[in-house]
Structure 1
Amino acid sequence: MKICKTVLRPILLYGAETWALMRKEEGLLERTEMRMVRWIAGISLLQGRDSQGIRRMCGICNVQEKAKEDRLRYYGHVIRREEVEPIKRAKNMPVMGRRSVGRQRIRWMDVVRRDMGEVGWREEDSMNRNRWRKLTRAADRAMQ
């Protein structure tokens, strides 16, 4: 499982802090990781073991939780930056024009707001770096 945590998961989640993941893509990530974990652990789908039980046995958390943790950790970095930094200016930049008709494409900030809403956090919480670190490390703490 050390290989899974140190090699496979970073490959799966490379750049995840900037992705605007939709539920469908999160499910694809989870299925991919579970296929690899089952292969490493030698557990066949025919054995009928559920994913949660396998994760508990192997001591790993859900890849969706890790992706959320990465996004929120990066969001904290962006919020704490100086106002003159390019990334902060790009985040706060107003976009002129109208959005297209119909359902809108999901944006990174929409995903971050969804993640923060699920756990009940506010933007002000990210200004305290130590507190934000403790809040965003929830996925690792649950498996220790």
Structure 2
Amino acid sequence: MSSKRKEAKLERTEMGMLRWIMVISLLERLENDEIRRAGLVKITEVIKVSQLRWYGHVLRMDDEEGVKRAWEEPVRGRRSRGRHRIRWRDKVKEDMERRGLVEDDAFDRRQWRRRIRQPTP
């Protein structure tokens, strides 16, 4: 299942739960945006923020830490032919580009936290 299909399924499930919690029937024909006006953020956006928060944490780690070494270690070998599966690293880079972030921003923790919490333009 593709990443976009997983995200769509997750958002459908989230909206079903929100409708159930708020006791809103599908027969009322309220759009998802109207339900979200209560100040709720999409679950996929929460996940992206969490991933960026973790990425900033890894970047700030000491170089001797195992996680940091594993992150920076190049993967040997070649990838197979055809379209490649999107890796976690690629998705994080994409989210950073959308928010206008670079790796050096992670070293100022306050600014990093503030900027990753801003909604994607």
TM-score (normalised: structure 1): 0.77
Percent identical among aligned pairs is 47
How far 1:25 sits from its partner (Å)?
Answer: 1.2
Q: Which of 45, 51, 57 is 1:65 aligned to?
A: 45
Per-residue CA deviation, residues 23-52 of structure 1 (Å, 9 max, x unaligned), is 221111111111000011011122111111
**Offset at residue 136 of structure 1 (A):** 2.0
* 2:70 is equivalent to residue 125 of structure 1: no
Aligned mate of 1:102, from 82, 97, 107: 82
* Alpha-carbon distance in structure 2 between the residues aligned to 1:42 and 1:122: 42
Instruction: Give 2:115's aligned residue.
Output: 135
The normalised TM-score by structure 2 is: 0.91
> Number of aligned pairs?
118
Deviation (angstroms), 1:60:
1.1
> How far apart are 1:138 and its partner, in Å?
2.6
Instruction: Work out which structure has the larger RCO, using CA pairs closer than 8 Å and 6 or more positions apart in sequence.
Output: 1
- 1:78 partner amino acid: V
Q: Which runs of 4+ in 1 moved over 4 A?
A: none
RMSD of aligned Cα (Å): 1.4
Of 76, 94, 105 in structure 1, the residue corresponding to residue 56 of structure 2 is 76
CA offset digits 1:53-81 (Å, max 9, x no partner): 10113x31111111111011111001000
Deviation at 1:111, TM superposition (A): 0.6
In 2, the alpha carbon distance for the partners of 1:35 and 1:44 equals 10
Could you give the per-residue CA deviations for residues 76-97 of structure 1, whole angstroms, max 9, x where no partner exists?
0010001111111111111111
Q: Which one-letter code corresponds to 2:18 in the other structure?
A: V
Aligned twin of 1:9? none
1:84 aligned partner, one-letter code: E
